[in-house]
Chains A and B, each alone.
Chain A
Amino acid sequence: MTGLLLRRAMGGGAVVFGVLTLMFFLLRMAPGDPARLLVGPGATAEQVAAQRHALGLDRPMPAQYAAWLGRFARGDWGTSIASGRRVRTMLAEAWPATVRLVGLSLVLSYLIGIAVGAVQAMRGGRLDTALSVATVTLFALPGYWLGLMLVMLFTYRARLLPAFGAAGLDADFLTGWARTADRLRHLALPLATLTLVGIGGTARYVRGAMLDVAGAQFVTIARAKGLSPLRVTVRHVLRNALIPVLTLLGLSLPALFSGAVFIEAIFAWPGVGRVLVQGVQARDYPVVMAATAVSAVLVVLGNLLAEALVGWADPRTAGQRGGGAAGR
């Protein structure tokens, strides 16, 4: 188990390293000279050359690459072109908000999705059909559009919930319960959007996984032993169906993170996704680079967590996983 996690951690490190390498080459391939961009359009050739030297762009490629990796590893991510703030500070402020939003939504969408999928698989019939229509519709909803619709209903029409930011303007003056309530009200819409979109995929997957397991021999035996249907469902079917579902949890993290980028942009949620989108729209490269790297690190860490959960739920996987994913 520990050995497996160690190997996975090394794999995760390789992913982050790969992302940094990819970014380096994309930056070099992209049109436009960063030095010229920094000194502005009216600069003389000497000024551009000086800037190139200052940025290290006149050094050989491998040296530039090594310097790039070194800077990133040390956490020296430069300053934002748009705001002049240190990129590291910006991201240090942003990542907890993203983890909070994505983590909560992950827990909620999996709990609700597993419940809905289990009910569908066990009940069948018209309830199953109705829920199938509902979950496939949720699955087809683009998060950013659903977010706008919820804002229209709950913010503009009903005037119930705020649509921007993680806390009200007066948050610093609030204390105790009022402060918590303010935070929760701001969390409600982004969390609801991300969770609703996530439920569809999870429920669809759980339903399929449970139907697969329900046909297995050990389930027939459990029924033959005279166990109550509920007990068979929960103890035998659901428990075994959860193993592929937990694996899916790790695999779905990148997608969930992708969804969060849009949601953060819409609701001005102060997370990594919003930093990224604002950086992209302002062509603020140091910010974009660092936000991309931080996203990759968060996804890798989340994957490791999911891997540990799978190992805990299914002791069989401890020794013999990896490489067996073909055909998924």
Chain B
Amino acid sequence: MGGPEDRGAARRRGGGAVMARWSWVLRDRRAAFGAGLLLLVLLIAVLAPLVAGDPSLQRDIVATRFLPPLSTDVHGTFHLLGTDRFGRDLWARMAYGARVSLGVGGLAVLVSVLLGMAVGAAAGFWSGWPATVLLALTDFALALPRVVLLLLLASLWQPSATLVVLVLGLTGWMTIARLVHGEVRALAVRPFVESAIGLGGSDLRVLVRHVLPNALTPVIVAAALGLGNAIMLEAGLSFLGLGVQPPAPSWGNLIASGRDTLVNAPWVATAPGVALVLVVLAATLLGDAVRDRLDPAARRTG
């Protein structure tokens, strides 16, 4: 935290320096790798129909199933990553699966961020018993094993992508709430906030326009780290059959389907796992880099 300047106000005044502010991403190797890889996977997900074939196409199962990577089948179709036990192209299934993984992960993090910011800001800005209750609630939710809660919820309701987004979002907001709470508490006594209140701004206006924009730094970092975690958990739920249901491809249910063919077709489980590791790695490295950039004093990782 630098001087007492109001970054929220500064941002609204002029965006001309945006390019200069983000050029460091290219110079930091971790950030460049993370951002580049996430962008690439995002592109593949969005352009899946262009870069890959039909993910559910099955022709002549006996002749086309379990083809190893880089092989061409009897119909002359090239399979970059080979085929699964139904003769479906693994690359196509992974490209379409990226839509699910990124989409579900991204939306879940969005839910967490919104919920966490609301809880953290309310608890930090208004003291008294509501703050105590909200903080106790946060500590309570933080003490639960997340996967156990996910399994409980996934067992009570029909599994679907929407459920996974909600469940991941509702179990992932606590870190953000704690971070925002700390930031808001520290910011609330700063001169620019006092002057905003002194100028007659309503509580909500001061909170949204002046306090929260300045508390965004740790939220961005936590969101990047949370994205990796959410993508990993979505795949985990789908792996257990409680997330995205086949035949819709997701990286998790692709790994699960490869589990049964580990011996004769190891690539079915390997490829989506490698993709998963790379994306989580990219999100983590990007989060690390952003944190070091924004707050060089706090090099802690956790």
Partners in one complex: yes
Q: Are A262 and B147 in contact (CB under 8 A)?
A: yes
Interface SS majority for chain A? helix
Q: Is A303 an interface residue when CB atoms closer than 8 A count as contact?
A: yes
Given contacts A145-B276, A254-B146, A262-B236, 8 further A-B contacts (CB under 8 A): A14-B140, A31-B156, A140-B277, A204-B302, A212-B299, A255-B145, A280-B151, A288-B155
A261 to B240, CA, bound (A): 11
**Interface size band for A:** 35 or more
* Interchain nearest-CB distance for A139 vs B (Å): 6
Q: A26-B153, A31-B157, A279-B155 are in contact. Are A248 and B179 (CB under 8 A)?
A: no
* Interchain nearest-CB distance for B278 vs A (Å): 8
Return the contact of A152 from the options B146, B185, B262 (Cβ within 8 A). B262
Query: With a CB–CB cut-off of 8 A, which chain B residues contact A23?
Result: 152
Q: Which of B250-292 contact A (CB under 8 A)?
A: 255, 258-259, 262-263, 266, 269-270, 273, 276-277, 280-281, 284-285, 288
Residue of A nearest to B232 (CB): A142
A201 to B302, CA, bound (A): 7
Which 4 residue pairs are nearest across A and B when measured between Cβ atoms? A327-B182, A258-B147, A30-B156, A208-B300
Q: Is A136 an interface residue when CB atoms closer than 8 A count as contact?
A: yes
A29 to B235, CA, bound (A): 26
Return the contact of B269 from the options A30, A145, A259 (Cβ within 8 A). A145
A92 to B152, CA, bound (A): 20
Q: Which of B145-200 contact A (CB under 8 A)?
A: 145-149, 151-158, 178-179, 181-183, 185-186
Q: Are B146 and A255 in contact (CB under 8 A)?
A: yes
A280 to B262, CA, bound (A): 25
For B140, B147, B183, the residue with the greatest tally of chain A CB atoms inside 10 Å of its CB is B147
A251 to B241, CA, bound (A): 28
Q: Is A283 an interface residue when CB atoms closer than 8 A count as contact?
A: yes
**B-side interface residues toward A, CB under 8 Å?**
140, 142-149, 151-158, 178-179, 181-183, 185-186, 228, 232, 235-236, 239-242, 255, 258-259, 262-263, 266, 269-270, 273, 276-277, 280-281, 284-285, 288, 299-302
Interface SS majority for chain B? helix
Q: Are A204 and B301 in contact (CB under 8 A)?
A: yes
Residue of B nearest to A11 (CB): B139
- Can you list 19 A-B contacts with CB-CB less than 8 angstroms, sorted by A residue number? A15-B144, A27-B156, A30-B157, A140-B228, A140-B277, A141-B277, A142-B236, A142-B273, A145-B235, A204-B302, A208-B299, A208-B302, A280-B151, A280-B152, A281-B242, A283-B155, A303-B143, A327-B182, A327-B186
Return the contact of A136 from the options B181, B259, B281 (Cβ within 8 A). B281
Q: Is A232 an interface residue when CB atoms closer than 8 A count as contact?
A: no
Q: Are A327 and B301 in contact (CB under 8 A)?
A: no
A280 to B154, CA, bound (A): 8
* Interchain nearest-CB distance for A276 vs B (Å): 6
Query: With a CB–CB cut-off of 8 A, which chain A residues contact B241?
Result: 281
